[in-house]
Amino acid sequence: MALELKLDFYPAPSPNRTGVLVLPGGGYEFISLEKEGVAPAQWLNSHHIDAWVLSYTTADESHPAPIFPAPQREALEAVRQIRGSGRVDKLGIWGFSAGGHLAAVTATDPSVELDFAILAYPVISMAAGTTHEGSRRNLIGDECEAANGFDTKNANFDMNVSQYAITSEGNA
């Protein structure tokens, strides 16, 4: 069963069969829709590129933190739906800040079919003391290490995943 998504489509006036899924930032607390969603979509359109902006789950009264894995599931479903639309031959993902983090983990998921990824000032790690604390708290909670037996102080998992996305197949 498909997830219900808030996925807004911005068609290019003369599309070139390239599309981009845009993931705005907001610390996994809100969606910076105008600055990091609508504006990039309009810029892409001016370059003949179709755009989709995903308003993924953020922490709020109806979705208390931690919200993982909801944003990841939604981003994967958005890619699946865009690919299924038949509008694009090439599909990329462009994420800003927390959306950059989501773009990185989406682009490196083995099941995803993306041709490129753009990470704009991404939250690149969830390690305590390194990350944007609000993003960490909202996505995985403050007690992530203890609850999951994961040592984020000594692990570079997020950084390695993101670096792989950038350099995959020699397309740095």
Which DSSP symbol is given to 38?
I
- The residues near 58 (Cβ < 8 Å, ≥ 6 apart) are 26, 28, 29, 30, 31, 67, 71, 138
Q: How far is residue 58 CA from its own chain's centroid?
A: 12
122 cis-preceded (ω within 30 degrees of 0): no
- The residues near 165 (Cβ < 8 Å, ≥ 6 apart) are 103, 104, 107, 108, 117, 119
The single-letter code of the amino acid at 72 is Q
Question: What does the pLDDT read at residue 145?
Answer: 56
Please give the span between the terminal C-alpha atoms of the chain, in angstroms, as a whole number: 36
Question: What does the pLDDT read at residue 86?
Answer: 97
Question: What does the pLDDT read at residue 129?
Answer: 85
CA dihedral over 42, 46, 52, 56, signed as positive or negative: negative
| Beta strands at 50-54 and 90-96: parallel, antiparallel or unpaired | unpaired
Which DSSP helix (H) or strand (E) runs through 9? Answer: strand 7-10
| Beta strands at 18-23 and 116-120: parallel, antiparallel or unpaired | unpaired
**How confident is the model over 138-149, as pLDDT tens digits?**
999 987 654 444
Show the low-confidence residues of the chain (pLDDT under 70): 1-2, 144-172
Question: What does the pLDDT read at residue 28?
Answer: 98
Contact 113, 169 (CB under 8 A): no
**How confident is the model over 111-123, as pLDDT tens digits?**
999 999 999 999 9
